[in-house]
A and B are shown apart, each in its own frame.
Chain A
Amino acid sequence: MTQLTFARAINSGLRKSLENDPKVVLMGEDIGTLGGVFRVTDGLQKDFGKHRVIDTPLAESGIVGTAVGLAYRGYRPVVEIQFDGFVYSAFDQIVSQLAKMHYRTRGAVKMPITIRIPFGGGIGSPEHHSESPEAYFAHTAGLRVITPASPQDAHTMIQQAISCDDPVIFFEPKRRYHDKGEVDESLDPNSAPPMGQARVVTDGRDVTLVAYGPLVKTARDAATAAADEGVSVEVIDLRSLAPVDFATVEASVRKTGRLVITHEAGQSGGLGAEVAASITERCFYHLEAAPVRITGFDVPYPYSKLEMHHLPSLDRILDGVDRALGRPNSLSGLEG
């Protein structure tokens, strides 16, 4: 075990993939000499060369589109999009080209491409640097969407994503880049829990609290705080957003009877809606209350002096837990 930051854990995972498979290439803006604006690719170009760690022109569609061509040629590209808000320029190449190529070629052409996207807010950035666009991609057939919440998962899941024969959108919670955690770098990604599997972070009896990416830490803190009041919260880290491991969530809700989902992305049409609907379909008669969503608002990501109002905080999540439990909460009197 080694103490690694989240960013360093990804770096170490990328290094392993580069070592293990000569077809793996990294592509992106500023990922070479600079090591990426978050230093996630630090030192990799020096060790693997300019043909495997490729600095690209400033064109996101170009980066993803050429990655598709490299995959056509048998390569396994790992693309870095510098910030969440810049991925939209590549939307056609991701949604119409990358996602559909395997289907369009009736399985002849595989697209083992990983697209790394730092996402989410909480770092006081200007606009376009704090977004949570995961629902667009989770809604797109042909893509897998995953997001790690701990340095260990970051290290393992990036390797699993790269070795997956389907395209994977890999969201990195940027405000956790500097968080440290124990990482077992010798862990074989093949024997680790698969990237499509959700993880029960803390066991609980009273409420199931579903989170992913940057909010897993907040959810865990909320569970600790709730325990002080005698409320037992089971926190689930989804890890995979497409497909969602509903079986794990369902098993938890069958036990607790109550469901709270939290994410930074806006509420309407988001992952929370999908989880709430699917769990309601699957185990309606085990629910004691309506599912509760604690999410960002349906607004453009706000400027930094307002972002603390937009981002689900520990207290907002606890307020949601109270709603699920029918305890006094901010909306008491409005509901029912």
Chain B
Amino acid sequence: MVTDDAGQGGTTAGRDNKTGHQGGAGHNLVQLITPAGERVSHPEYDPWVRDVSDEQLCSLYEDLVVVRRIDQEATALQRQGELGLWPPLLGQEASQVGSVRSLRDDDFIFPSYRENGVAYCRGVDLTDILRVWRGNASGGWDPYTVNMAIPQIVIGAQTLHATGYAMGIQNDGADSAAIVYFGDGATSKGDVNEAMVFAASYQVPLVFFCQNNHWAISEPVRLQSHTHLAERGTGFGMPSMRVDGNDVLAVMAATRVALDRARRGGGPTFIEAVTYRMGPHTTADDPTRYRDANELEDWAAKDPIGRVHALLDRKGLFTEEFESSVRTKADSVARELRAGCVGMPDPEPLDVFKHVYSTPNSWLDRQQDHYSRYLASFGDPAGAITEEGAR
């Protein structure tokens, strides 16, 4: 059975401190808020979040709750037939919120398909987040308006794009950085390993942000790696950190460390955010076929939202008024998400030819011309037959 220790490996646990970076923090799990909501001090990472005020902590809590609400609403929309598919992020809210909230506007994000919480915090329009999953587009938004690429489906392929983008930042002499999101399964991919070679070789300003959610569909992280994933980075000569991915503050601290290094010309960093995918891989998946219910219970006790709730409570900040304002916000975001989803107009038939090329193409122009004539031959365009039959 796969446990909490999956991916830890039997032989490496004892020598983490020797191989690690960050002045001896090694690959011990960095944690600043315990699951019980206790703020524990960490001499090395505390300075990186010292500026996080009570007000900001409340704001992070709101992000976590809203992101979870988006995820739940989208899952419901899929069950109701409004979305074709949805990849839930339940359990990974802190990894996503803590990292994206550490970025500057001019940093550039390369996400996988599960970073919908990142997209929300980045300011991506709610309807645009759903566009892909409703089948209305292959990409929901213009990456340049939010400095965030569209989701990548091919596992790990975006790590190379992020590396190339960071090479560009370096060539431009800018002090921004790029961050790339990927999962534990992706660390087995050639592209991810090639990206780490290129990034380390050129010392580009890039953060490799790996959410180890323990499962690649049905495959446990143990199948991908016999060491901590953070040690992958070390092997490429990259400073690496291993943080509690369910601890929004720890994630924020680690991301800030990495970004600071990138901006100062110190090259790439590997962050393993240890978290857990509480839901299925996608709405098409059934984790009861491969996952132990006890494991889920263990991780439920480490919930990323619960611990911030408890911390705010300890600080006397979790007032009724606050709770109600967060609920109102989450409700209104969910309403907007749903309205945007069901109100999304279907694409036009000839959109199938759009944007394949940015310049005229004689092959495609001819096919479009012929298909236009075909559609026109029905007289009433609504009577045109599609592959699935009349709509």
Contact = CB atoms under 8 A, between A and B. Distances in A.
B208 to A, nearest CB: 14
A3 B218 CA distance: 63
Contacts of A247: 362
B154 A196 contact: no
A243 B362 contact: yes
Given A69-B168, A73-B169, A75-B168, A102 B138 contact: no
Interface stretch (B45-53, B157-165, B220-228, B338-346): B157-165
A59 interface: yes
Interface string B163-191: 11111110110000010000000000011
A227 interface: no
Which of B137, B143, B194 has the most C-beta atoms of chain A within 10 angstroms of its own C-beta? B194
A244 B366 CA distance: 12
Which of A107, A144, A242 has the most C-beta atoms of chain B within 10 angstroms of its own C-beta? A107
A111 to B, nearest CB: 9
Interface in B99-155: 108, 110, 137-139, 142-144, 149-150, 154
B163 A66 contact: yes
Nearest to B361: A243
Nearest to B142: A108
Which of A74, A105, A142, A196 has the most C-beta atoms of chain B within 10 angstroms of its own C-beta? A105
Interface in A98-134: 100, 102-110
B148 to A, nearest CB: 11
A257 to B, nearest CB: 23
B357 A142 contact: yes
Contact of B164 (A67, A100, A166): A67
A273 interface: no
B143 A72 contact: yes
A102 B355 CA distance: 6
B198 A56 contact: yes
Contacts of A165: 358-359
B154 A59 contact: no
B154 A97 contact: yes
Contacts of A68: 160-161, 164
Given A73-B164, A92-B157, A96-B157, A103 B356 contact: yes
A86 interface: no
Contacts of A57: 194, 197-198, 201
A105 B348 CA distance: 17
A65 B167 CA distance: 12
A62 B191 CA distance: 7
A166 B359 CA distance: 7
Contacts of B364: 141, 243
B68 to A, nearest CB: 28
Interface residues on A, range: 35 or more
Interface string A86-98: 0000001100110
Nearest to A107: B355
A144 B201 CA distance: 31
B48 to A, nearest CB: 27
Contacts of A25: 171
A70 interface: yes
A246 B154 CA distance: 35
A104 B355 CA distance: 8
A98 to B, nearest CB: 10
Contacts of B168: 69-70, 72-75
A65 B164 contact: yes
Contacts of B201: 57
Contacts of B194: 57, 59, 61-62, 65
A245 B355 contact: no
A335 B29 CA distance: 75
Interface string B219-249: 0000000000000000000000000000000
Given A65-B191, A108-B144, A243-B363, A73 B358 contact: no
Contacts of B142: 105-106, 108
B164 A72 contact: yes
A65 B165 CA distance: 10
B207 interface: no
B308 interface: no
Closest 3 A/B residue pairs (Cβ):
A69-B164, A65-B160, A73-B168
Interface of A: 25, 51, 56-57, 59, 61-62, 64-75, 77, 92-93, 96-97, 100, 102-110, 141-142, 144, 164-166, 196, 242-247
Given A25-B171, A142-B357, 12 more contacts: A57-B194, A59-B190, A62-B160, A62-B191, A65-B191, A72-B168, A73-B172, A92-B157, A102-B356, A103-B354, A104-B139, A106-B138
5 contacts: A59-B198, A65-B163, A67-B164, A107-B354, A245-B362
